[in-house]
């Protein structure tokens, strides 16, 4: 452990302990720094480990060797001389052991860290800055584009993550400073950077209702398909705010953002539609009732696209599905609900394909713990010979089946369903008779497999 020296200022707040910060992060000492003859001494180990030095103790010489891959520092207990890369450096006070920890003069840190060391008299804070990104983030915080440019030219990291849980581009967005954002992007700031509290910088610009910033980020490579923790990509996030009460200015700005994102998503969705052999009218019909996120539906491994997948907010998904079915079914398209029905925070998924129920189920792969899609399809086809039915929705462990006609013997039919899928009764309704009543009332049933 070590000690560093810094000249002590007598009129600093005497009741405040001395605290040391490296690039804004406080160094945690197990013993407080001390002042002796105007020189501040601090523990060596916590400070140098915070500076990414590896430490070795030489018991025989009573010395500590610190190495960070660039320089070696050797300090000897009781000696006023320190070796830095084999060059002698004079210390204001010799290192000493206090309660088992080595202390050294604080000023020495500035000499070996390659950083700037400053004292804040009012707070008794010692600030050590070793990363130019620290100055860059503060220039962005102060909305000072000249200083931002200066520090970028000096080699500061445009993606520097600060002790304030922020990055430079985040502050440019906060200040609505598109010139600063362009400058940061020019120096390779990442428009898709993810960090604490913020899933997506593009979502942040949407939150601030800033269409110009949204455009700058998109031009800089921001991914409009990237989803936040609520499962919303940029377009759905814009719609989320449009659904809230907004003043006229904010509403108009959000509509501008929506228009731009619709243009981009529709362009991509059109390509997916063509790969799925959709009629050119389908996307236009979909957009009459739905303005949210669209993704491809298909096999990721083979990169085969079978249809479109819409992310629909819960509470309106049933209405959206009914609207789409009324328009698309006569044209030979099928519309299904899918996704996690138990995760209430995420949007519900709606799939559109040009094909059959079987085509949809096959893309889900394994359904439940016991069956692959083909086994479920085979059983549904068997039931369909005596009772007309269709798949309304499905996911990895459930299938909702809609009866198009009433079974001749509901109880007998229910027993067949139970034989194939006992979980819904055994872990749900409790009896086949109760299940039969539910099937008759709902004109359908759920195949469900518990984990």
For the chain, give the percent of residues with pLDDT over 70.
92
* pLDDT above 50 for 250: yes
- Which pairing describes strands 87-90 and 96-98: parallel, antiparallel, or unpaired? unpaired
Question: Which of 133-137, 284-288, 312-316, 345-349 has the lowest average pLDDT?
Answer: 312-316
- Interval 327-339: pLDDT, tens: 999 999 999 998 7
How far apart CA 377 and CA 365 sit, in angstroms, is 11
Query: What are the residues whose beta carbons fall under 8 Å from the beta carbon of 259, sequence distance 6 or more?
Result: none
* pLDDT above 80 for 73: yes
- Which pairing describes strands 25-26 and 19-22: parallel, antiparallel, or unpaired? antiparallel
User: Which pLDDT score is estimated for 414?
Assistant: 95
Average pLDDT for the chain: 89
- Which pairing describes strands 34-36 and 304-312: parallel, antiparallel, or unpaired? unpaired
User: Which pLDDT score is estimated for 333?
Assistant: 96
* pLDDT above 90 for 69: no
Instruction: Give the mean model confidence (pLDDT) for residues 54-64.
Output: 90
User: Which pLDDT score is estimated for 10?
Assistant: 45
For the chain, give the percent of residues with pLDDT over 90.
60
Query: What are the residues whose beta carbons fall under 8 Å from the beta carbon of 202, sequence distance 6 or more?
Result: 191, 192, 214, 217, 218, 222, 223, 224, 226, 234
* pLDDT above 60 for 11: no
Backbone angles phi, psi at 42, to 5 degrees: -135, 160
Band the pLDDT of 342: cuts 50, 70, 90: low
User: Which pLDDT score is estimated for 14?
Assistant: 53
CA-CA distances (angstroms) from residue 34 to 31, 95, 451? 9, 13, 60
User: Which pLDDT score is estimated for 279?
Assistant: 95
Query: What are the residues whose beta carbons fall under 8 Å from the beta carbon of 206, sequence distance 6 or more?
Result: 214, 234, 237, 238, 241, 254, 257
Band the pLDDT of 15: cuts 50, 70, 90: low
Instruction: Give the mean model confidence (pLDDT) for residues 355-383.
Output: 83
Instruction: Give the mean model confidence (pLDDT) for residues 268-283.
Output: 95
Residue 350 near residue 337, CB atoms below 8 Å? yes
- Interval 76-107: pLDDT, tens: 999 999 999 889 989 889 999 999 899 988 87
Q: Which residue has the higher pLDDT, 169 or 195?
A: 169
Show contacts of 13-21: CB within 8 Å, 24+ apart: 13/122, 13/123, 13/124, 16/123, 16/124, 17/124, 18/42, 18/124, 18/125, 18/126, 19/123, 19/124, 19/125, 19/126, 20/47, 20/106, 20/125, 20/126, 20/128, 21/125, 21/126, 21/127, 21/128
Residue 168 CB coordination number (10 Å):
31
User: Which pLDDT score is estimated for 8?
Assistant: 42
Band the pLDDT of 425: cuts 50, 70, 90: confident
* pLDDT above 70 for 4: no
């Amino acid at each position: 452990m070590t000690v560093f020296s810094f000249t002590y200022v007598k009129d600093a707040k005497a009741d405040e302990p001395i605290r040391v910060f490296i690039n804004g992060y406080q160094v945690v000492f197990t013993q407080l720094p001390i002042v002796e003859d105007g020189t501040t001494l601090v523990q060596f180990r916590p400070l140098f480990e915070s500076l990414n030095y590896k430490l070795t103790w030489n018991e025989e010489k009573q010395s500590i060797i610190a190495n960070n891959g660039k320089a070696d520092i050797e300090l000897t207990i009781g000696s006023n001389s320190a070796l830095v890369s084999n060059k002698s450096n004079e210390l204001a006070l010799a290192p000493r052991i206090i309660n088992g920890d080595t202390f050294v003069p604080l000023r020495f840190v500035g000499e070996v860290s390659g950083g700037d060391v400053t004292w804040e008299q009012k707070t008794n804070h010692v600030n050590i800055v070793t990363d130019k990104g620290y100055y860059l983030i503060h220039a962005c915080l102060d909305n000072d584009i000249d200083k931002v440019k200066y520090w970028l030219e000096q080699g500061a990291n445009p993606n520097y993550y600060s002790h304030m849980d922020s990055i430079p581009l985040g502050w440019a967005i906060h200040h609505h400073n598109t010139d600063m954002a362009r400058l940061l992007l020019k120096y390779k700031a990442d428009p898709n950077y993810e960090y604490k509290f913020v899933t997506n910088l593009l979502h942040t610009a949407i939150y601030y209702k800033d269409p110009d910033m949204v455009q700058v980020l998109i031009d800089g490579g921001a991914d409009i398909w990237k989803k936040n923790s609520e499962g919303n990509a940029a377009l759905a996030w814009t719609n989320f705010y449009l659904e809230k009460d907004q003043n006229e200015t904010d509403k108009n700005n959000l509509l501008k953002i929506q228009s731009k994102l619709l243009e981009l998503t529709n362009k991509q969705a059109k390509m997916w539609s063509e790969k799925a052999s959709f009629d050119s009218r389908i996307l236009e019909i979909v957009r009459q009732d739905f303005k949210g996120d669209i993704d491809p539906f298909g096999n990721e491994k083979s990169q085969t696209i079978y249809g479109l997948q819409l992310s629909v907010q819960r509470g309106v998904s049933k209405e959206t599905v009914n609207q789409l079915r009324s328009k698309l079914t006569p044209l030979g398209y099928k519309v299904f609900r899918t996704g996690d029905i138990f995760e209430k925070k995420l949007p519900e998924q709606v799939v559109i394909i040009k094909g059959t129920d079987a085509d949809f189920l096959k893309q889900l792969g394994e359904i439940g713990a016991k069956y692959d899609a083909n086994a479920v399809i085979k059983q549904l086809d068997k039931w369909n010979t005596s009772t007309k039915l269709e798949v309304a929705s499905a996911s990895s462990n459930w299938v909702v089946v809609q009866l198009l006609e009433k079974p001749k013997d509901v109880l007998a039919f229910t027993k067949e369903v139970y034989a194939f899928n006992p979980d819904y009764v055994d872990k749900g309704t409790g009896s086949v008779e109760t299940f039969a009543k539910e099937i008759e009332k709902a004109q359908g049933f759920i195949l469900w497999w518990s984990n």
